[in-house]
Amino acid sequence: MVAHEPRTVPTETDLRDERLIRENRIFGPLDPAPEAGYGMDAPPRMGFFTDTSVCIGCKACEVACKEWNNVPETGLDLLGMSYDNTGDLTANSWRHVAFIEQPVSREKLAERGTATGGQAGKETPAFEGLPTSRVAAPDMAARAATTGKETGTRPGVPPSPEPGAAVEMATEFLGMPSTVLPGQLPGGERTDFRWLMMSDVCKHCTHAGCLDVCPTGALFRTEFGTVVVQEDICNGCGYCISGCPYGVIDQRVGDGRAWKCTLCYDRLKDGMMPACAKACPTESIQYGPLDELRERAARRLDHLHDIGETGARLYGNDPSDGVGGDGAFFLLLDEPEVYGLPPDPVVPTKDLPAMWRTAGRAALAMAAAVAVAFLGRRP
């Protein structure tokens, strides 16, 4: 991939356009709070910009979130996925720091078009000139794929049904043939190495699948444009789980209700910063009006490209993507798949108009058939 031009993202003011809001009610770019009934005087849309290029993997965000929101512990399970013992976003983990540990070769990254993938500014490969002989990453991936975690939630963090895929992933980044069986180490020396860290969170989509399918109205759009579950209304039907294109939302076993990041709605209402952003020591998690965050992110991306981090990209910042852009978006150093994120998420309700149209046509056809049947009986 060549260095791309900084993308001009429409501002929130552009998106707060009545015509746009009317037209894009189901799909496409818009500012969600006015559409949800707060009117044109709604406060500016607030969100997160998570810059993974400065994440140090300290997990302070996970702990601050749990402390503030009184989220239960998820239990003691060593997952063997590098330093990640949380596993995933669940009803009991609303921030999740992913650790991606990979021996990579800069040539292979370049061939793949990623150029640096988090290696920009690295003077020399980490293990060059050392007596290394094997790589552990595929083995680690294979073993980690078999470790589920009992989090007290569903679907929670189940073992991967496809350990082979994890191994394939690990070997791909080594530039090796991906036919290695789990548990089998490929040969070859490792010289270069990267350890990516990323704090994941609910994306607070512009078109939120979870919210669209919620039959009780427990999930609602706040005046800040965020998406929140009301715990006293949720009846535990679980439709939202399949509605989320990112696999974020999850149910607590026992109470059955769905829980996820609220973007600290209670703090926002008091003009405070969400707990995770407040606790982040490196400002990897930034909170603010989405408008400003997008500008900041574009500047940051330019800077990273300037210093040679050409693999850097924004994820979820584009209002014209499949979910109308995320309220919580990210700066990644490689492709989203590397971090376990879907490359092209689409809100399932995108097809709703088409489905209704199809259903409508079917209904019309049915009605016509019935009519014909009745008419047909009259000679």
Partner 1 sequence: MVAKERGAKIIHVDPRFTRTSALANTYVPIRAGTDIAFLGGIVRYILENELDFREYVLAYTNAASIVSEDFRDTEDLDGLFSGYDPETGVYDPTTWQYEGQEAAVQDRDPVMERETAMPLQHESHGPGVSGRVRRDETLQHPRCVYQILKRHYDRYTPEMVERICGIPPEKFADVARAWTENSGRERTTALAYAVGWTQHATGAQNIRTGAIIQLLLGNVGRPGGGIMAFRGHASIQGSTDIPTLFNLLPGYLPMPNAKLHETYDDWVTSICHPEQKGFWYHAPAYCASLMKAYWGDAATPENDFCYEYMPRINGDHGIYKQVLDMIDGKIKGYLLFGQNPAVGSINGRAQRLGMANLDWLVVRDLFMIESATFWQNSQEVETGEIVPEECRTEVFFLPAASHVEKEGTFTQTQRLLQWREKALDPPNDARSDLWFIYHLGRIIKEKLAGSTLRRDRPIRDVAWDYPLHGEYAEPSAEAVLREINGYSLETGQTLRTFGQYRDDGTTVGGCWIYCGVFADGVNQAARRRPGKEQTWVAPEWGWAWPGNRRVLYNRASADPEGRPWSERKAYLWWNEETGCWDGYDEPDFERTKPPTYRPGPEAEGTEALAGDDPFIMQGDGKGWLYAPSGLIDGPMPTHYEPPESPVRNQLYGQQANPARKVYDRPENTTHPSPPEPNVEVYPYVFTVARLTEHHTAGGMSRFVEHLAELQPEMFFEVSPELAAERGLTHLGWGHVITARGCVEGKVLVTDRLTPLRIADRIVHQVWMPYHWGPSGWSTGDSTNDLFTMVLDPNVLIQEGKAGTCDVQAGRRPHGPDLLEYLREYRRRAGIEEFHHTPIITTDAAEASHRCGRTDDGGA
Residue ranges in contact with partner 1 by CB under 8 A: 54, 56-59, 62-63, 66-67, 73-78, 80, 82-83, 85-86, 101-103, 121-124, 126-137, 139-140, 143-144, 147, 185, 190, 193-197, 282
By the 8 A CB rule, do 84 and 98 touch? yes
Distance in angstroms (rounded) separating the CA atoms of residues 356 and 351: 8
Encoded amino acid at 41, one letter: D
> What is residue 252's DSSP assignment?
E
As measured in angstroms, the least distance from the Cβ of 70 to partner 1 is: 10
Q: Are strands 46-51 and 328-332 parallel, antiparallel or unpaired?
A: parallel
Q: How far is the CB of 333 from partner 1 (least distance, A)?
A: 11
Q: Of 291, 294, 290, 337, nearest to 314 (Cα)? A: 294
Comparison of 237 and 272: residue with beta carbon closer to partner 1:
272
Q: What is the smallest separation between the CB atom of 125 and partner 1, expressed in angstroms?
A: 9
Nearer to partner 1 by C-beta: 26 or 253?
253
**304 or 341: CB nearest partner 1:** 304
CB of 353 to partner 1, least distance (A): 44
Residues 6+ apart with CB under 8 A from 221: 32, 33, 35, 36, 208, 211, 227
In the complex, what is the shortest distance from the CB of residue 337 to partner 1, in angstroms, rounded to a whole number?
20
CB of 130 to partner 1, least distance (A): 5
Q: Cβ(241)–Cβ(60) under 8 Å? A: no
In angstroms, the Cα distances linking 265 to 138, 199, 224 are: 41, 19, 9
CA atoms of 119 and 163, how far apart (whole Å): 27
Q: What is the DSSP letter of 50?
A: E
Residue closer to partner 1 (CB basis): 83 or 239 = 83
Indicate the residue among 38 and 99 with the shorter CB distance to partner 1.
Answer: 99
Strands annotated E in the chain: 46-51, 95-102, 153-154, 194-201, 219-221, 227-229, 250-252, 258-259, 285-289, 313-315, 328-332
Task: Provide the minimum distance between the beta carbon of 10 and partner 1 in the complex, in angstroms, as a whole number.
Answer: 28
Nearer of residues 137 and 312 to partner 1, judged by Cβ: 137
Query: Are 29 and 325 spatial neighbours (Cβ–Cβ below 8 Å)?
Result: yes
Shortest Cβ distance from residue 284 to partner 1 (Å)? 9
Q: Which is nearer to partner 1, 59 or 350 (CB)?
A: 59
Give whichever of 38 and 127 is closer to partner 1, judged by the CB atom: 127
Is residue 265 within a helix (H) or strand (E), and if so which, with residue range? helix 265-269
Cα(202)–Cα(96) distance, rounded to whole angstroms? 10
Q: SS3 for 89-146, per residue?
A: CECCECEEEEEEEECCCHHHHHHCCCCCCCCCCCCCCCCCCCCCCCCCHHHHHHHHCC
Q: Give least dist CB 330 to partner 1, A.
A: 17
Residue among 59 and 260 whose Cβ is closer to partner 1 = 59
